[in-house]
Structure 1
Amino acid sequence: MSSNVDKTTGEIAEQPQAPVAAFLASHLNGRTDEELSAEFHQLLDAVRTHGKKGSLTITIVVDPPANGVESAPMPIGVESAVKAPKPTPVKNLYFLDDDGQPVREDPRQMAIEFRTAPANQTFKDA
């Protein structure tokens, strides 16, 4: 409950507070709730798929009334940001050569020349 002071009597009047979930559900005629739900389920799928944590951040942005008029409407917006896990990138192993360049073959390893053996169609009897 929030309390407001009545300016004429000075008495404190208790006002029931609406749940923020109810606000999100009704914002933009339910479109915000649908979009947040879709993002939430995409996040759940990504976490399950990749086995890593993720997050969904919901920000409610409230602007002051226009021209400081107390009875003017207050613009309220809802923003969201999803940090879904991604697959771990595939890595490959490289060595650094004498110039510091990445190469696939170990530059310290002695090279052995390979050649293809000639094909032989005859079989040796034992």
Structure 2
Amino acid sequence: MSARPITDLLREHRNGVTLDEMSDALQELVAAVTEEGKGGKLTVTITVKPMGRDSGALEVACDIKAAPPKKTPGTSVFFPTPENNLVRQDPRQQSLELREISVATAHKGIA
């Protein structure tokens, strides 16, 4: 006697809801792995236990757990001041006074 394919069980378990949940979890995992560039894991645990001592029936439960990769936290660059505060501009560099030049002014300088 050959073994019945496990996909048949998953298709019938909870009228197909388990298989749908597994498919959704896998799709979300693939998206997270693609976005983060790191591996993740999808684990399905199938538990089988008797319904009663003499009933002959078995209770089957499926637990689906996804472990997507952890997101890489964003970073920013700051510089320390002499007082040990963090600021966005390097306090050791002079700041340049920048001003906006209009298109008309810029063309006058070209001769």
TM over 0.5: yes
Higher helix share: 2
Match of 2:30 in 1: 44
Query: Where does the alignment leave 5 or more consecutive residues of structure 1 unmatched?
Result: 1-14, 96-101, 110-126
Match of 2:64 in 1: 80
Q: Considering only CA atoms, is the larger Rg found in Structure 1 or Structure 2?
A: 1
- Secondary structure in 2 matching 1:58: strand
User: Which portions of structure 1, spanning 4 or more consecutive aligned residues, are displaced by more than 3 angstroms?
Assistant: 91-95
Match of 1:28 in 2: 14
Match of 2:73 in 1: 89
Report deviation, 1:50.
1.1
TM-score, normalised via structure 2 length: 0.63
Cα distance, 1:18–1:64 mapped onto 2, change above 3 Å: same
Report deviation, 1:92.
5.4
Q: Which is bigger in relative contact order (C-alpha 8 A, separation at least 6)?
A: 2
TM-score, normalised via structure 1 length: 0.56
RMSD: 3.7
- Secondary structure in 1 matching 2:50: coil
Alignment partners' CA distance in 1, 2:78 and 2:59: 56
Match of 2:109 in 1: none
Report deviation, 1:38.
0.5
- Secondary structure in 2 matching 1:77: strand
- Secondary structure in 1 matching 2:30: helix
Query: Where does the alignment leave 5 or more consecutive residues of structure 2 unmatched?
Result: 80-85, 93-111
The percent identity for this pair of structures is 32
Question: Which amino acid is the alignment partner of residue 38 of structure 2?
Answer: K
Match of 1:60 in 2: 46
Question: Which amino acid is the alignment partner of residue 52 of structure 1?
Answer: K
Report deviation, 1:62.
1.1
